[in-house]
Amino acid sequence: MLKQISITDFLPLMPGIPLADVRTPAEFAQGHVPGAFNLPLFSNEERVLVGTTYKQVGREEAILLGFDLTGPKWSGFIKQALAIAPAKKIAVHCWRGGMRSGAMAWALNLYGFEVHVITGGYKRYRQWAHRQFEQPYQLQVLGGMTGSGKTRLLHQLTTLGEQVIDLEHLAQHQGSAYGSMNKLEQPTQEQFENNLATALSKQNPTQTIWVEDESLTIGRRSIPKPLWVQMRGAPLIDIHVGLSQRVTSLVAEYGGLDKDFLVECTQRIHKRLGPEQTKHAIAALNENRMEDFIRLVLVYYDKTYRTGLSVRQASQVYPLPLQGCDDLANAQQLQQFQKTLPLTAQQPTNGNTSL
């Protein structure tokens, strides 16, 4: 059975009904629906051949070439689909819901699959994703100087039942010159947006959604502008944590990283850090004085944070001192403090730099 279905109607059915993306591996790698499987009708090279034939010769010749290229592969497609959807219920899409998804849907239906075909294909999904960024959300921004433990507090808020969007996790970057942690690999911009849209769609927009204060970019990925504008206009709780506690936290987090990586990252920010500060910071690294290195670099990051805070509307910034290292207790204090904010600060509205 074949059934046309919109992406909006289909997404709630995942993962009960697996989604097969029949675009090429290159297209899939650039960006795909989170949770989808790649079942490419053409290889990257084959798609180029078919496209060139379509433009230079015509539609009918391109279709014949497509059949020539895929002819020996149809049993393989069905076997892959069975591995993905053993219950023989599956959804398929290509770029615009055209010939590629139509051909795959026809073959799977012939074999006995119940096939949902996504109308408009991946292009329609991307339109859905962009709409998620334009929805009004009741954001609560969590700010604080580098090393204040904001990410840990967000994780604790999740355990307390709060809605949280972890932007740095989605971007696979800690948000600073050192943010790759010498191991994290960022998704493409397109995939970052897809993952973020999915995360937002799972939240209740009428309830508080916590996010960390971020600049427009996290590493090389950009927060979609409509959402970032909402973040800048949302109330911000500015947590205050003592310098010694922040240094201890950062030494624990970054102290085990490769020294050459830390030196290279420090050199990349030498213009902002200043020549003397950069020289002393690198010397501290080479002499295994990690605490001194952290203190030197924090001069820059603390200044950057204060500058960002100064351009926010003062009436929307709420300072909160936190004591001790118990993240759960601090998250509970944060949760209770947020409930005391004026109602006007908790209504939907249409960054921080961490080490």
Q: 94, 104, 115, 236: which is the annotated catalytic residue?
A: 94
Q: Assess contact for 171 and 192: CB atoms under 8 A.
A: yes
First to last CA, the chain: 54
Write down the residue that tokens 């959804």 correspond to.
91
Q: At what angle do helices 150-159 and 327-339 cross, to 10 degrees?
A: 80
* Alpha-carbon 46 to chain mean position: 31
**Helices in the chain by DSSP H: which ranges?**
7-10, 25-30, 44-56, 59-70, 74-84, 99-111, 121-134, 150-159, 167-171, 189-201, 225-233, 243-254, 259-268, 270-273, 275-286, 290-310, 327-339
Q: Assess contact for 268 and 260: CB atoms under 8 A.
A: no
Separation between Cα atoms, residue 153 and residue 212, nearest integer Å: 10
Whether 94 is catalytic is yes
Q: Which residues are catalytic?
A: 94
